[in-house]
Structure 1
Amino acid sequence: MMPNSIQAAAKIPLLDIDEERNAIRRWQDHGDREALTLLLRSHARQAWSMAARWTDNPVHLEDLAAEGVIGLIRAADNFDLGQDVRFSTYAAWWVMNGVSAAAARIRSVIDVPPRAVTEMRSGRLADEDNTVITMAMQGIVALDAPVGDGTHSLLDALVSSDLTPEETAAAESLHDVQRRLIAKAMSGLNAQEAEIIRRRRLQAVPETLEDLADAMNMTRDRLRQVERRAMTRLRRFLLDNGFQRAMLN
């Protein structure tokens, strides 16, 4: 049975590295559900902890924790036993992705993309965008109504743009996993495709179709064809490895 509270999850001892890897191997190679349950129970605190960062509503907390556990299962499915990394470190991306997507669905009156919620909580949006997203999630339009001398609103008192240390660490971990996944996806392209994607998609100032076609001695139609093919392969890889569709727009 999975723990049904943060307190219960915290009482379950963590597996040591050999036990952890043995459980993952038994699950991946033989579909051993007992091994998966052992792994999930040991790391359930990770799902509950992430859920608690996204809500203080007990009605939503259990639902978000359940999404975090689903993230742990996906991490167990995809964990590479050849890598020298603990399961909890690898699973952090999957847990955050599952919980953040669920939080956007549960709390929003308006459908807010998970990427927008994550960027808001990471402090990467302008104040105006933060305000719009927060209002949509809370479903209370009147929060922007001026109070007092008219220079502040209730929203000013309720919303803080400062990140907690836990949120900062989680955001940094998320970005690190994203960078590694993109690098791995790029390694599956041939040299020409990778060069086109880097110069057209990954630079701060992308090169125009015309300039890059001239530089690579290609027609614009041929370059456009190669770019579409490469982007299709990249999107398929990233979606298979936990990216949300909204994050790939």
Structure 2
Amino acid sequence: MQLYLQDARKYEYLTAEQERELAVRWRTGQDRRALDKLVGSHLRLVFKLARGYQGYGLPLSDLVAEGNVGLMQAAQKFEPEKGFRFATYASWWIRAAIQEYVLHNWSLVKIGTTAAQKKLFFSLRRLKARMQELESGDLSPEAVSAIATELDVPEAEVVEMNRRLSVDSSLNAPFGEDGDSEWQDQLADDRASHETVIADSEERRQRLDFLKLGLEALNDRERAILVARRLADEPVTLEELSQRFKVSRERVRQLEVRAFEKVQKAVMANARAQQIASSDKSRAWLGA
């Protein structure tokens, strides 16, 4: 791990503009040097996320290796033209790769196969600790009901997962040279960090702002059709809109497609403009 971190520190952190340039070079020209810089600058992110899963008793080097696989998958799928930072996108792939590894290797019995089981595996112990149910064996009916409600999973699966996890090891088993630490102290908190919450909130705000600007590029009829068909909680049928605007259903469909394409182009243009503006501000700050 020391060698890994030494190699990781050789790569500089990237600005948004540098990141986008490297991603474009890789996507359009399969530039291996660009890929190396893009991936290398995020090796420290892999290490940071992998450490959050040490509480499952698996070697950190293996967790990091799986995280690197997720990082490479993210690099293959990343679309820089959408205007979002690579670290935000890659974090999901890295966590997914590490979690899959943990699920398949932590126990002799395969723990998680469905989405509900995976959610239980990575959340059950944290919720038990919060409810002070760590030493109670089978969970109380009240705890089972509360956990099932919070995670939106069947109560039967809560009971089954709790029994399967309890067989493997005790969360209060001591470890470390002095034996003064417990495994439960090392459990990964699957809640988003404060920084992630802020970043996600900012990203959602930007998307809404771009969408509003995109809608301004439409005329009244196009805007009404697009909102009714794609942005409403209950989409309006083509038949209803054809009667409202006195045109055929096919014409409504054509207007919807054209309006969507206009908004899409406007959103991408605004995203690029914001990236350029941010880059100019960074240059001005560095120059100062």
Aligned to 2:119: 115
Paired residues for 1:24-103 under 5 Å = 24-55=23-54, 60-103=59-102
Partner of 1:169: 193
Question: Is the alpha carbon distance of 1:32 and 1:100 closer, same or farther for their aligned partners in structure 2, counting shifts above 3 Å?
Answer: same
TM-score normalised by the chain length of structure 2: 0.46
Return 5+ residue gaps in structure 1 as ranges: 146-156, 181-189, 198-249
**For residue 159 of structure 1, what is the amino acid of its counterpart?**
Q
Other-structure match for 1:246: none
Write the distance in 1 (CA, Å) between the matches of 2:6 and 2:125: 25
Q: Structure 2 CA distance, aligned partners of 1:137 and 1:47?
A: 27
C-alpha distance in 1, partners of 2:187/2:196? 15
Q: Separation in 2 of the partners of 1:61 and 1:162? A: 14
Count of residues in Structure 1 that have an aligned counterpart in Structure 2: 177
Pair member with larger Rg: 2
TM-superposition CA deviations, 1:168-215 (whole Å, max 9, x none)? 418966xx69xx8xxxxxxxxx959x9789xxxxxxxxxxxxxxxxxx
**How far 1:131 sits from its partner (Å)?**
9.1
The root-mean-square deviation of aligned C-alpha atoms, in Å, is 4.8
The alpha-carbon distance between structure 1 residues 55 and 27, as it changes in their structure 2 partners (threshold 3 A), is: same
Q: Label 1:120 to 1:31 Cα distance change in 2 as closer, same or farther (>3 A).
A: farther
- What does residue 23 of structure 1 align with? 22
Match of 2:155 in 1: none
The residue aligned with 2:168 is 140
Checking the alignment, whether the CA contact within 8 Å between 1:3 and 1:9 is kept in structure 2 is no
Distance 2:76 2:50 in 1: 21
**Identity score, percent:** 24
Structure with larger RCO (C-alpha < 8 A, sep 6+): 2
Unaligned runs of 5+ in 2: 113-117, 134-138, 140-146, 148-157, 173-181, 205-227, 236-288
> In 2 relative to 1, CA 51–101 (structure 1 residues): closer, same or farther, beyond 3 Å?
same
